[in-house]
Every structure is written in structure tokens, then in C-alpha cells.
């Protein structure tokens, strides 16, 4: 089921028990397991006993409905963008995007490829970048701790930015997805 | 009246806290078995609060909204009908006049509500999980019912208070020693009841992404988490009363429920998952036969 009206602008209103809620959000990050690029291979070791991301409260969720974080793991191809938009918009607020690898920052080694996106932030709001090609699990954990810090301080507001500037993002997305057959308001 | 309401609120609140804490402990213990550090013991509280504060803008129809309420209602109903601490009036929450079969029915009421809600969400994985869950439920229900009937016939009472009262003459009078086969059957049926492995075919994250709650998010999921915690405490309490002589004090209650819960956690973390037909075949054959042995012994 789709909405046929633009999203409400979240604004800056304070929630009840904001600090406690932010602490809870930072310490319970659920990630959708959706491998978008080759960086997904570095996500698997995070669950093993060597790196163990569960000690930070991070868990993999197999459905976007229950997730908080969407990881764009490496380059994003023009074909995948549509699916990623659908997944991102199905996640309930507040939601965060972590971009792995240099491909998401400036295209990386695929900078002149015809079918990958160069600057991810033009299409979806990125909260945290993790650099490297590929980033090792340690740097992903580092990225998570940066995201946790931003959430605790209330600075991880990419989802608000997306809703407030939806027209800008839609325009950019439609430049890539020529056969746009998604509903415009997708939540 | 007021004291009744207070005692009901106290029981539900204590059960919720204990259930969430047990869930956290089980995650830590599982992590230690894997050789990991694991999350904090309080992780489930954090998760529930976070989920409660997320927005929810998903609508799938009335039953989708009601399902978490069904689950929580079933859990609270079982909790209030089972004596919490034997001999303490404050914890006899309802002057209960039904028998053990009513309890059995209400225990499955929450699962049925959940099945309707998951069906309403329209997600194919949820529907697959529901059909698996109902098939498995009908098989462990059989062995569990036979075990309960064996115990009830042996003690000449179907009332849960009567079953507890018959076990107060020391450890050797506990039903687990008086009816060892029926108890073994009931304890095996307890694993699928708690959705523990090897019977975890309903919430199979690698196979049918998380099963019935696939479409549930934010507050609904938070309610379902709390409902699950309450429900597992209610089931633990029922089993403690049925097999382990009830609890004579709060300390023995916590200890007995903790040990019984750890049994499911340890079994769950060392076994892989059955396929649906394997699970159903096992449940029809092994625990049912075990329970029948005691039933026949009692009848003779």
C-alpha cells in the first residue's frame, strides 16, 4: 500500500526522554542484510567470534521493516538503485545509511564506469562513510562507533534531510532511473 | 479490589522484567557458547525501548494491528491463572475455577492470533511460517496434552492448584520423578513451544526472513517482544507448577524458571534446525510415545 501525499516534514520538535531514546537507538542498531556491492563480503566476519558486532548491540535483520541502518556496501549500480530506494523507504524512521568503500564517495576505481553511481549522497542521504577499498571489518566497526556517537549527539539526521529535500533527491534519482515506475511517495 | 489490581500489575511487571532479562541472559550465554563476547544482559530492554520510539506508518488491516494484543493478552491470561508462589495469597491473581485444559487452550490462543495477524500482513514468507507453525503446533500440542492428561489422571485432579498441592511433600513427590516418561515428553514439547532449535522452523531467519513478524515494525514489534517475554515466563511458570513442585518462595521461583529456561537455551545453541516434516515426525513419534507410556502405566 502506498501513500499519495508527500511525507510530513519531521521538523526539530523534541521527543519525550530524548537523551535516553538516543542512547537506546545508538546501542541497538539493526542492519538490513542487503549486499549491494562487493563490500558485502567484509560484513560477514562482523558476526563471527573474531569481530562480534553483537557486543555493541548491532544485529542483522532480514527485513527492512525492522531495520535501522542500511549499509550500501561498495559501488551502487544504476540497476540496483531502484531496489535500494524501495528498501530505504520501507525502513521506519529514524533510519541511517552507512556507505562503505571509496566507490560510494567518488566512484573509486569504477569512477568512469557507465553503470555505477559515483557520488552516493546525491541519491540517498548518507550518515557515515567508511573509507577503504575494501574497508576491513575493523574499519566498519569504527564506522559504527562514529554512527553511534552521531546518534547519541542527535546529529544523525539524514532521514530528516531526505524527507525535507525529497524533490532534490527524486530529481537526481529520476536522472538515473529512466523507466521510473515507482510511486512517488513510498511510505 | 485495589490490592487485587496492585498484585496483578506487580505480577505482570515482574514477569515482563524477568522475561526480558532471561532473553538477554540467553543471548549472552549463546554468544559464550559461540566463543563471542555477546551483548549486554540488558540488551533486550534497550531494543524494546528503541522499537517503541520508532515511527510506524505501515497499515495492513485490523487483524494486523490486533495480533500483538492477542499475543500479550494470551500471555497475561496464562500468567494470572497459574499460582506464582505457592501459599502466598498475594500472587493468586484470579480465583481460578477452570482446569488445566483451559490453560492449554489459552496458551495456544496467542499463537492463533499471531497467525491471523501474519496472514493479514500479506507477506508470502509470513504465510509460509504460519502454515509451518500451525502444523508443528498441532503435533507438540498432542504430546503435551497426553503428558498433562497422564499427570492429571495419576493425581486424580485437573485443577492446577491440586497438581501443585500434590507435590508439596518433598522433592521425591515432584511430578518429574513420579511421572518420568510424561515429564520427558512434556519437556521435549517445551522446546518447540519456546521456538527453540532444533524446532525453530517458524522464525527461521536464514530461510524465511524472520517468519510471521516479517512485516511488523516499531511499536508492534516492541509489543511482540514484550509479549514473547511475558509468554515465556508464563510457560516457565506453568511448567514449574506442573513438573517441579511449584515455587515456595520468590527465590526458588527465580531459580527454577532460570534453570528451566537455560535448558532450552543450551539445547537450542547446540542443535541445527529440523526441516518441517522431520520436526513433525519427531514430535508425533518420540514425546507422544513417552507420554503414552506413563498414561498407560497410570491407567493400569
Instruction: Say if B60 is an interface residue toward chain A (CB within 8 Å).
Output: yes
The answer to whether B34 contacts A94, with C-beta atoms less than 8 Å apart, is no
> Where in the sequence is the domain holding B84, given as residue range(s)?
2-299
CB under 8 Å to B142, separation ≥6 — which residues?
B283, B284, B288
Instruction: Say if A28 is an interface residue toward chain B (CB within 8 Å).
Output: yes
β-bridge pairing A30-32 and A59-61: parallel
The answer to whether B35 contacts A49, with C-beta atoms less than 8 Å apart, is yes
**C-alpha cell, B269:** 545453541
pLDDT confidence band for B86 (50 / 70 / 90): confident
Mean pLDDT of chain B: 87
Q: What is the pLDDT of residue B79?
A: 85
pTM: 0.90
* Domains of chain A with CATH codes: 28-176 (3.40.50.12280)
Chain A nearest CA to B235, separation (Å): 27
Q: Is the peptide bond before B173 cis (omega within 30 degrees of 0)?
A: no
Q: What is the pLDDT of residue A2?
A: 58
The answer to whether A92 contacts B53, with C-beta atoms less than 8 Å apart, is no
Give contacts of A 37-66 with B, CB under 8 A: 48-49, 52, 54-57, 61-63, 65-66
Q: Is the interface score ipTM higher than 0.95? A: no
* Averaged pLDDT, B289-296: 92
Count of beta carbons in the 10 Å neighbourhood of residue A1: 9
Is the pLDDT at A106 greater than 80? The verdict is yes
Chain B nearest CA to A25, separation (Å): 5
Ramachandran quadrant class, A182 (left: phi over 0; alpha: psi -120 to 50; beta: rest): beta
The answer to whether B55 contacts A65, with C-beta atoms less than 8 Å apart, is no
Residues in chain A closer than 8 A to B60 (CB atoms): 1
Least Cα distance to B298 among B104, B141, B155, B99 occurs for B155
CB under 8 Å to A84, separation ≥6 — which residues?
A34, A36, A70, A72, A76, A124
Is the pLDDT at A97 greater than 90? The verdict is yes
**C-alpha cell, B288:** 507422544
Instruction: Say if B32 is an interface residue toward chain A (CB within 8 Å).
Output: no
Helices B218-243/B180-193 angle, 10° precision:
180
CB B268 within 8 A of CB B200: yes
Q: What is the pLDDT of residue A187?
A: 62
Is the pLDDT at B74 greater than 90? The verdict is no
**C-alpha cell, B245:** 513442585
Chain A nearest CA to B131, separation (Å): 20
**Using one digit for the tens of pLDDT, what is the confidence trace for B193-228?**
888 888 888 887 777 877 788 888 888 889 988 988
Instruction: Say if A24 is an interface residue toward chain B (CB within 8 Å).
Output: yes
Is the pLDDT at A75 greater than 60? The verdict is yes
Number of domains in chain B: 1
Distance CA B237, CA B235 (A): 5
The secondary structure element, H or E, covering residue A58 is none
Distance CA A68, CA A47 (A): 17
Residues in chain A closer than 8 A to B56 (CB atoms): 92
**Using one digit for the tens of pLDDT, what is the confidence trace for B134-161?**
889 889 999 999 999 999 998 888 888 8
The answer to whether A61 contacts B210, with C-beta atoms less than 8 Å apart, is yes
Which of A1, A24, A94 is closest, CB to CB, to B46? A24
CB A137 within 8 A of CB A100: no
Amino acid at each position: 500500500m502506498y501513500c499519495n501525499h508527500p511525507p510530513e516534514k519531521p521538523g526539530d520538535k523534541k521527543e519525550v526522554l530524548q537523551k535516553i531514546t538516543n542512547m537506546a537507538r545508538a546501542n541497538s542498531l539493526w542492519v538490513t542484510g542487503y549486499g549491494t556491492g562487493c563490500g558485502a563480503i567484509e560484513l560477514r566476519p562482523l558476526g563471527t567470534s573474531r569481530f562480534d558486532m553483537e557486543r555493541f548491540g548491532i544485529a542483522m535483520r532480514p527485513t527492512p521493516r525492522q531495520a535501522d541502518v542500511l549499509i550500501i556496501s561498495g559501488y551502487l549500480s544504476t540497476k540496483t538503485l531502484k531496489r535500494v530506494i524501495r528498501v530505504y523507504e520501507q525502513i521506519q524512521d529514524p533510519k541511517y545509511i552507512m556507505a562503505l568503500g571509496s566507490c560510494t564517495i567518488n566512484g573509486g576505481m569504477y569512477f568512469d564506469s557507465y553503470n555505477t553511481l559515483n557520488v552516493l549522497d546525491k541519491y540517498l542521504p548518507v550518515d557515515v562513510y567508511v573509507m577503504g577499498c575494501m574497508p576491513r571489518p575493523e574499519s566498519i566497526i569504527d564506522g559504527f562507533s562514529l554512527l553511534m556517537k552521531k546518534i547519541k549527539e542527535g546529529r544523525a539526521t539524514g532521514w530528516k534531510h531526505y524527507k525535507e529535500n525529497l524533490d532534490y533527491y527524486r530529481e537526481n534519482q529520476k536522472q538515473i532511473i529512466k523507466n521510473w515506475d515507482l510511486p512517488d511517495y513510498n511510505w | 479490589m485495589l490490592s487485587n489490581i496492585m498484585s496483578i500489575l506487580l505480577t505482570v511487571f515482574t514477569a515482563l522484567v524477568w522475561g526480558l532479562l532471561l532473553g538477554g541472559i540467553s543471548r549472552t550465554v549463546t554468544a559464550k557458547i559461540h566463543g563471542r563476547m555477546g551483548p549486554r544482559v540488558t540488551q533486550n530492554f534497550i531494543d524494546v525501548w528503541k522499537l517503541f520510539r520508532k515511527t510506524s506508518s505501515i497499515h495492513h488491516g485490523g487483524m494486523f494491528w490486533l495480533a500483538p494484543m492477542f499475543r500479550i493478552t494470551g500471555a497475561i491470561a496464562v500468567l494470572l491463572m497459574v499460582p506464582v508462589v505457592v501459599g502466598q495469597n498475594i500472587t493468586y491473581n484470579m480465583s481460578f475455577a477452570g482446569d488445566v485444559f483451559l490453560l492449554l487452550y489459552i496458551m495456544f490462543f496467542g499463537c492463533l492470533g499471531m497467525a491471523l495477524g501474519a496472514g493479514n500482513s500479506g507477506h508470502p514468507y509470513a504465510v509460509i511460517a504460519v502454515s509451518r507453525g500451525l502444523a508443528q503446533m498441532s503435533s507438540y500440542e498432542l504430546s503435551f496434552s497426553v503428558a498433562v492428561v497422564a499427570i492429571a489422571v495419576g493425581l486424580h485432579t485437573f485443577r492446577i492448584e491440586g497438581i501443585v498441592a500434590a507435590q508439596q511433600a518433598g522433592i521425591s513427590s515432584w511430578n518429574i520423578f513420579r511421572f518420568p516418561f510424561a515429564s520427558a515428553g512434556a519437556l521435549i514439547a517445551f522446546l518447540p513451544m519456546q521456538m527453540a532449535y532444533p524446532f525453530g522452523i517458524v522464525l527461521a531467519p536464514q530461510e524465511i526472513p524472520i517468519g510471521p513478524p516479517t512485516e511488523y515494525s516499531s511499536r508492534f514489534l516492541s509489543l511482540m517482544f514484550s509479549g514473547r517475554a511475558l509468554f515465556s515466563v508464563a510457560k516457565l511458570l506453568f511448567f514449574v507448577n506442573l513438573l517441579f513442585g511449584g515455587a515456595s518462595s520468590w527465590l526458588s521461583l527465580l531459580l527454577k524458571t532460570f534453570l528451566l529456561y537455560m535448558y532450552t537455551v543450551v539445547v537450542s545453541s547446540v542443535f541445527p534446525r529440523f526441516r518441517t516434516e522431520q520436526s513433525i515426525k519427531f514430535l508425533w513419534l518420540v514425546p507422544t510415545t513417552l507420554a503414552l507410556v506413563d498414561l498407560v502405566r497410570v491407567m493400569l
